[in-house]
Amino acid sequence: MPVPALQKFEQRIGRQLRLLELRKTMIERKIGRQIRLFEQKRDGFGKKIEQQIRQFERKRGIRLDDEVRFLRSWIERPLTIGAVTPSSKMLARTMARYVDPDSDGPVVELGPGTGPITEALVEAGVDPSRLVLVEFNPVFCRLLRARYPDATLVQGDAYSLRRLLETLLLEPAAAVVSGLPLVTKPIKMRLRLIRDAFELMLPGAPFVQFTYSVASPLPKRIAGFSVESSERIWMNLPPARVWVYRKN
Ligand SMILES: C[S@@+](CC[C@H](N)C(=O)[O-])C[C@H]1O[C@@H](n2cnc3c(N)ncnc32)[C@H](O)[C@@H]1O
């Protein structure tokens, strides 16, 4: 190509590149505005719900702090939180019933949230210093640290259980109690989690999981696992069932 033609070609490409840059900046700004708008709306919605809850509290003379925290987290990450309110006392006590308070070793709780199951475990006689709480929501972590200063709190992803706990646990766990919204995850991930949990537990120790769904969140016929379940717990919103898996 002759030199002047090449220069012209370069100029044209240059102009088009600048135009593209300009368009990209405009689109980025537009997306940024939309995201800010969405965030404002979401915050407004959260605040409105919070105001209504405060009004409700004032009228009835009660405090719903944990419910507010929970609802807020649910608004931000519905699939991760998996529930609109913390578990009821009835459900939490049923979960705790499957853990022997006189057994040896740590009791691991996955997704403790605001701590209703933690509370039930302590009420049932599990020493708080045996508790290892794995939660990744920073707001819940702050709350749990303040409420259970003797427990070990691990802020992280429970689905990386082995990496998180294999050096932390000095002896095999006596139980793993899970409030994770397991059914929102692919079956492969659920199976990996329970297999990792069994690696960290004593033989025959329970992996206790609640679910709102009708079926077991893990296949009932897994070779080498035994499965049992509680009655449906109607005193919970939504009603739930507790499933217990053991490997001998
Ligand atoms: C359905 S809520 C249950 C909370 C509490 N156990 C209860 O019964 O009210 C699920 C909890 O699991 C936590 N969670 C979800 N995915 C998690 C993950 N991958 N690692 C750690 N915590 C997780 C959420 O932040 C939330 O606190």
More confident residue, 28 or 61: 28
Closest CA to 245 of 154, 164, 178: 178
Place of tokens 């992996």: 207
**What are the phi and psi torsion angles at 243 (to 5°)?**
-115, 140
CA distance 26 to 31: 9
CB 85 within 8 A of CB 49: no
Mean pLDDT computed over every residue of the chain: 87
Q: Which residues pair with 155 in a beta bridge?
A: 135
CB-ligand 1 contact for 157 (6 Å cutoff)? yes
pLDDT number for residue 81: 67
Alpha helices in the chain (DSSP H): 3-60, 65-76, 78-81, 89-97, 116-123, 138-147, 161-165, 187-200
Q: What is the pLDDT of residues 208-242, one digit of tens each?
A: 999 988 889 998 777 678 999 999 998 888 899 99
User: pTM for the complete prediction?
Assistant: 0.75
Secondary structure (DSSP) of 58-92? HHHT---HHHHHHHHHHHH-HHHH--SSPPPHHHH
Residues in CB range of 119: below 8 A, 6 or more apart? 92
Does residue 243 carry a pLDDT above 90? yes
CB-ligand 1 contact for 212 (6 Å cutoff)? no
Q: What is the pLDDT of residues 102-159, one digit of tens each?
A: 999 999 999 999 999 999 999 999 999 999 999 999 989 999 999 999 999 999 999 9
Ligand 1: atom nearest CA of 73 is 25
Closest CA to 154 of 124, 105, 112: 112
CB-ligand 1 contact for 181 (6 Å cutoff)? yes
Q: Which residues pair with 179 in a beta bridge?
A: none
Expressed in angstroms, the distance from the first to the final Cα of the chain is 78
Ligand 1: atom nearest CA of 158 is 20
pLDDT number for residue 178: 98
CB-ligand 1 contact for 144 (6 Å cutoff)? no
CA distance 244 to 246: 7
CB-ligand 1 contact for 140 (6 Å cutoff)? yes
Ligand 1: atom nearest CA of 113 is 27
Does residue 35 carry a pLDDT above 60? yes
Does residue 62 carry a pLDDT above 70? no
Does residue 53 carry a pLDDT above 60? yes
Q: What is the pLDDT of residues 8-29, one digit of tens each?
A: 888 888 898 888 888 888 888 8
More confident residue, 37 or 73: 37
pLDDT number for residue 63: 56
CB-ligand 1 contact for 159 (6 Å cutoff)? yes
DSSP secondary structure code for residue 149 in this structure: T
pLDDT band, very low/low/confident/very high, at 190 (cuts 50, 70, 90): very high
CA distance 203 to 131: 19
In the sheet that holds 152-155, the strands lie side by side as: 152-155, 131-135, 107-110, 175-178, 206-211, 241-247, 225-229
Determine the distance separating the centroid of ligand 1 and the alpha carbon of 113, expressed in angstroms.
5
